[in-house]
Amino acid sequence: MLKLTPILFALIYGLAMYRFSAWQTTKRLDEQSTVLNDPMLVQLSDQMASSLDLPQIRVHIYEIDQINGLAAPDGRIFITRGFYKKFQNGEVSADELASVIAHELGHVALGHSRRRMIDFSGQNALRTMLSMVLGRFIPFIGIWIANMLTSMLAARLSRSDEYEADAYAAALLTKSGIGTSGQISLFKKLDAMSGSMNGHAPAWLLSHPKTSERIDALNKLQTRWDTSTD
C-alpha cells in the first residue's frame, strides 16, 4: 500500500489541479468576454441550433488577440476577438467561423472536457509511476523519459479529440445546410497563416493533428456519406 501512495497522491493532485485550472479559466472568461451579437454569425448559429433541436446557441467573444476558439468547462462556446477581427476584415468568412463554433460544440457534445479531466489525472499518476520505475533503472534521465512518454500520450489523446470534434462539426454543418467547404478552407487558411508567422501558429492549430490529415479525414467522411446516400 505504501508503494501505491505516491501514485494515489498524484491522481488526487492531478484531479485537484484540473478543477482549479477549470475554475480559473471560467473566472477569466466571465471577466473578459461578451455575447456575440453579429447578425450573420447569429443566423448561422441559429441554423445549427435548429438542427440540434435547441432554442439557441449562444456564442461569446473572448477579449484576447489570439486566433482561437474554445469550449469552456461549463459548456459555453467562445471565439476570440482576434478570430472575430479576421472575420470583420474579410480574411475569414462567416461559414468558416461557423465551422469553429460547430467544432467547439463537438467538444461539448462529446464530453471532451470531462474526459480531459480524467485523462489529466491519469497522466499525472502515470508520470509519477514511470518516474519511480525508470528513475530506479535509469538514474538522472528516467524522469525526463517519463515526462516525454506522458506528453506523447497526452498529444495522442488530444489529436483523437480533435478528429472527433471535426467529424461532429462536419455532420452538424451538413445537416444545417452550411456545408463543410468553409471548414476545409479555414484549415488551409490557418495553416498558411502559421507559415507566415515565423513559426508562431494560431492557437487553434496547437496540439492538433496536421492540417492535411484533418482535411483528408473530412474528405473521406464526405465520400462515405455520399456513397451511403446513392
Residue range 119-146: mean pLDDT, rounded: 59
Rounded distance between C-alpha atoms, residue 8 and residue 6, angstroms: 6
pLDDT at 28: 83
User: Does residue 161 fall inside a structural domain?
Assistant: yes
Task: Look at the chain and report how many structural domains it folds into.
Answer: 1
User: Does residue 56 fall inside a structural domain?
Assistant: no
User: Does residue 36 fall inside a structural domain?
Assistant: no
Residue range 12-22: mean pLDDT, rounded: 61
Burial 116-133 (b: 16+ CB within 10 A, else e): bbebbbbbbbbbbbbbbe
User: Does residue 203 fall inside a structural domain?
Assistant: yes
φ/ψ of residue 66, rounded to 5: -60, 155
User: Does residue 133 fall inside a structural domain?
Assistant: yes
Pick the residue with more confidence: 163 or 146? 163
User: Does residue 64 fall inside a structural domain?
Assistant: no
What is the strand order of the sheet 59-62 is part of?
Answer: 33-35, 59-62, 77-80, 69-71
Amino acid at position 140, single letter: F
Rounded distance between C-alpha atoms, residue 103 and residue 166, angstroms: 6
Average pLDDT of the chain is 78
Range with the lowest mean pLDDT among 11-15, 96-100, 166-170? 11-15
Whether 130 contacts 149, CB under 8 Å: yes
User: Does residue 132 fall inside a structural domain?
Assistant: yes
What residue numbers bound the domain in which 125 lies? 5-21+95-229
Rounded distance between C-alpha atoms, residue 122 and residue 159, angstroms: 17
Rounded distance between C-alpha atoms, residue 223 and residue 229, angstroms: 10
Dihedral of the CA atoms 151, 152, 157, 162 (nearest 10)?
100
User: Does residue 26 fall inside a structural domain?
Assistant: no
pLDDT at 93: 96
pLDDT at 180: 93
23 falls in which pLDDT band (50, 70, 90)? Answer: confident
Tally Cβ neighbours within 10 Å of residue 154.
17
